[in-house]
Amino acid sequence: MATPARLSGTGLTLAYDQRIVAAGLDVTIPDESFTVIIGPNACGKSTLLRALARMLKPRTGAVHLDGSVITSLPSKEVARRLGLLPQSSLVPDGITVTDLVARGRYPHQRLMRQWSRADETAVAQAMRATDVTDLANRIVDELSGGQRQRVWLAMALAQETPILLLDEPTTFLDISHQIEVLDLCADLHEEGRTMVAVLHDLNQACRYATHLIVMRDGRIVAEGEPAEIVTPDLVRQVFDLRCEIIPDPQSGTPLIVPEARRRVPA
Amino acid sequence: MNVRVGPWSVRLAPRALLVTALLVVAGFCVTVAALSTGEFTVPVPDILDALFSQGTPVAELIVGKLRAPRVVTGLLVGAAFGISGAIFQSLTRNPLGSPDFIGFTAGASTGGIIAVVSGGSAATIAGGALTGCVVTAVLVYALAYRGGVQGYRLVLVGIGANALLVALNSYLLTRANINDAATAGAWLTGSLSGRGWDHALPVALALLVLLPVCAYVSRPMRMIEMGDDAARAMGIRVEVVRGAALTAGVLLSGVATAGAGPVVFVALAAPQLARRLTRSPGVTMGASALMGAVLLTGADLAAQRLLAPTQLPVGVLTAAIGGTYLVLLLRKDRH
């Protein structure tokens, strides 16, 4: 067998207070993949991502990063290897784009070394990659939703982690900004990062993912390359939706076309 | 603006530096004015002589024994209130999360009143205030706890506790004998009059111990303002930072209240003023401390001189000055 994956979870029982979301979950994130976790509302996809990012302590089982139990590693050390873009973060009042992106350098800084040249370079690079350099001195509050999401992504990028987890990065964005953010994620993946994202849109998931994890009711129903696992049966089983699947005319990946209840008059 | 010396480096905001410098100058001017003016004027050049036992006996008595401890207590108490307000406003992500709104100061008052009524010395009163503050904080925190504490819940529970404690304080005053009630009443408006070195010392010690803690948590606290997940993703141990900040904030508001009584508005206004002046995104401990010190000593100076020879309690002035200034600033920064 090849070397074990850097990020994995075994025997995970995930719960909020008394409500158990998932039990006995095993999951492996293939190295250097663009993994997308998908499933209907309340299937536990965001919960799984939060557990992988050590935001949620599993009731049983453990998440492993590079062979160690993730909670046994110093938290700043983890933050230099694994980044997370949470579903929603609060923008500090009156902060500029550069200052917010610079906060991504926190895990690399110490009390006496708060702003090294490496920090400066990483921030400049992250801003170039996300195309927010022109917004450098703007106040984040005053940006559009799409611009703001690019700034949050820049902050996560400035953290320079080989693994980046994104919790529904396209929610609240209109379609063009959704594609913009996903294209950017694909670029970051091509540069060699392991990307893990929770997405809502099955077609977008199929187009961008190299590895798809399909969940329902806290279980993983299917996983693998989208073209190999996405079938009308799977979609019906997971989403209760009858559909036809055709090759995406742009990318050749599976494209889900829901069955029409009424024929549109010709 | 980047400063790098060898392996050390720091990123500084010029505006924050300028504001900090101006606040230091303002604090210095207020101190000199408070030491020099009054019924008996000590010319500025004679102040140092008087402080170091080189002046006339009268000047030594007035500057060294009466005015200096009062100004120093004011500076220290103001700084403690300023930092404690900054901490709680940041933790609750709400300007109303100041210790004087969420019951901590009222709890300190309850402790103080009980100490006064049972005939305590200055030290017992201070101890009572500190205990009252800590007990209230623990209760409010426990009541607001539901698998973690959310800012708005802490504020709501705190406002409830505050109302209860204010009522309890009034009740205690009506039950006390008239002399105790008068003493406690004077203490309750918040006052710096008659403060000696024994009032300044506990605040100074608390600041000495807690300032490094505050300096250490201020950066992670700024990250926590973006949300717990965002901070945790950056490798911040959110619970540890929050616990340390909470402890420091409670102790500071406790010793500050012990030192000068429950002076209102400094803890609310100082961090807001500091933040708006420095235009800094997030909590600003240093500027809040300086702003609190300037605000309290400035208000005390005004309270002594404005209607001289009638002396107002400083609490009346902090509310008037801080409130007016805050309203003006809020009007200005409507974008």
Q: Helices B238-260 and B68-92: crossing angle, nearest 10°?
A: 150
- Kindly determine whether residue A113 and residue B279, on different chains, have CB atoms separated by under 8 Å: no
Architecture per CATH, domain A7-258, reads as: 3-Layer(aba) Sandwich (3.40)
Q: Per the domain annotation, does B182 fall within a domain?
A: yes
Evaluate if residue B231 carries a pLDDT over 50: yes
What is the residue range of B295's domain? 14-279+287-332
Distances (CA, A) of A57 to A63, A90, A175, A229: 9, 23, 34, 30
Q: Cα A199 to the chain's mean position, in Å?
A: 8
Average pLDDT over residues B132-150: 87
Among chain A, residues having any CB pair with chain B shorter than 8 Å are 17, 50, 53-55, 74-80, 83-96, 99, 102-104, 106-107, 111-117, 120, 156, 159
Short-list B56, B42, B310, B324, CA closest to B193: B310
B241 contact residues in A (CB cutoff 8 A)? none
Q: Per residue in A150-174, pLDDT tens?
A: 999 999 999 999 999 999 999 878 8
Average pLDDT over residues A31-59: 94
A266, pLDDT greater than 60 = no
pLDDT in tens, B167-209: 999 899 888 888 888 888 877 877 788 788 888 898 999 999 9
The C-alpha angle A255, A259, A265, rounded to 5 degrees, equals 115
**Buried residues in A152-173 as b, exposed as e (16+ CB within 10 A):** bbbbbbbbbbbbbbbbbbbeeb
| Three-state DSSP state, B215 | helix
Alpha carbon of A148 to those of A161, B81, B118: distances in Å?
21, 35, 59
Encode pLDDT of B305-326 as tens digits: 887 777 888 888 888 877 787 7
Domain count across chain B:
1
Cβ of B234 under 8 Å from any chain A Cβ? yes
For the entire predicted model, the pTM comes to 0.90
- Residues of chain B with Cβ-Cβ distance to A148 below 8 Å are none
Q: Do B219 and A159 touch (CB under 8 A)?
A: no
Residue B7: inside a domain, yes or no? no
Whether B335 shows a pLDDT value over 50: the answer reads no
Closest partner residue to A79 (CB to CB) among B7, B227, B233 is B233
- Does B174 lie at the interface with A, CB-CB under 8 angstroms? no
A–B CB contacts, 8 A cutoff, strictly below: 87
pLDDT reading at A68 higher than 50: yes
For B313, phi and psi rounded to 5 degrees? -70, 145
Element (H, E) at B21: helix B14-36
Q: How far away is chain A from the Cα of B17, in angstroms, using its nearest Cα?
A: 16
Shortest distance, CA B312 to any CA of chain A (angstroms): 37
Is residue B269 over pLDDT 80?
A: yes
pLDDT in tens, B250-263: 999 999 998 888 88
pLDDT at B218: 92
pLDDT above 50 for B8: yes
Task: Judge whether B296 lies within some domain.
Answer: yes
Nearest CA in chain B to A152: B230
**DSSP states of B309-320 as a string?**
TS---HHHHHHH
Average pLDDT estimate for B145-157: 82
Residue B2 covered by a domain: no
- CB-based contact B225 A159, cutoff 8 Å: no
Q: Directed axis angle between helix B151-175 and helix B104-117, to 10°?
A: 20
Query: In this predicted structure, what is the pLDDT of residue A265?
Result: 62
CATH number for position B250? 1.10.3470.10
Among A52, A73, A113, A168, which would you mutate to test the B interface (most chain B Cβ atoms within 10 Å of its Cβ)? Answer: A113
Question: Of A87, A113, A156, which has the smallest distance from its Cβ to B8's Cβ?
Answer: A113
Q: Which pLDDT score, from 0 to 100, does residue A209 have?
A: 97
What is the rounded CA–CA span in Å between residue A143 and residue A139? 7
Q: State mean pLDDT over A217-235.
A: 95
What is the average pLDDT score of chain B?
A: 88
pLDDT at B168: 94
For residue A2, pLDDT over 70 is answered with no
Element (H, E) at A212: strand A211-216
Q: How confident is the model at residue B285 (pLDDT cuts 50, 70, 90)?
A: very high
Per-range mean pLDDT, top range of A82-91, B33-42, B306-315: A82-91
Residue of A nearest to B283 (CA): A92
- Ordered DSSP codes for B31-87: HHHHHH-SSS---HHHHHHHHTT-S-HHHIIIIIIIIHHHHHHHHHHHHHHHHHHHH
